[in-house]
Structure 1
């Protein structure tokens, strides 16, 4: 199958156009793949950020609860110590009698 000069004038430009179109399609698929991977990466970063944020807020909440619990324990110890001291002061002694506060 031989091509004549006039046929070559039509065939060669179409061959170049087909090559260019094939190259553009290949590049377009690569660009699409790069965009898709960038979207996936961005979504993973967003999700990771949410997880880290949730962990941090849980840690802060736990620390706050621990502080409250410690404060309550200290307060209950103080109240218990005060009540014991008050109880000691108000108890009557078998030989000395009862405690009388004469301060005004």
Structure 2
């Protein structure tokens, strides 16, 4: 396939434009990968510095009461009697059947 002079005048500038577009696309892809990697590192750092599980405060206070009131068991019994057990609240829709058909 041979190109004439007029065809070369059109083909060569378009080749340069296409090359620039390909290079920009590659740079965009590389930048996106770098940003995704940085976001992943930040997420991992955040997960490593946050507390995942905590001890129940009830368990801690029960242990402290047992250790502190070991000498006087009647005080421990009085404390337990004073605290009335609160009824558990029902969830508004969990465990209930809701008919969405309509």
> What is the TM-score with the length of structure 2 in the denominator?
0.52
Q: Which residue of 21, 41, 44 corresponds with 2:42? A: 44
Who is 1:69 aligned against?
64
- Measure the CA separation in 2 of the matches of 1:69 and 1:33: 55
| SS of residue paired to 1:75 | coil
Runs of at least 5 residues in structure 2 that lack an aligned partner in the other structure: 74-102
| Cα gap change, 1:73 to 1:56, in 2 (>3 Å) | farther
In structure 2, what is the Cα distance between the partners aligned to 1:21 and 1:35?
Answer: 21
The equivalent residue for 2:7 is: 9
Match of 1:31 among 17, 22, 29: 29
Once residues 67 and 51 of structure 1 are traced to their aligned partners in structure 2, the CA distance between those partners, rounded to angstroms, is 29
* Runs of at least 5 residues in structure 1 that lack an aligned partner in the other structure: 1-5, 79-104
Larger radius of gyration: 1
Runs of 4 or more, structure 1, over 4 Å off, are 63-67
Q: How many residue pairs are counted as aligned between the two chains?
A: 72
**TM-fit CA distance, 1:36:** 0.7
Q: Give RMSD over aligned pairs.
A: 3.0
TM-score by length of 1: 0.51
Residues 30 and 76 from structure 1, CA distance in 2 versus in 1: closer, same or farther, beyond 3 angstroms? farther
Partner of 1:19: 17
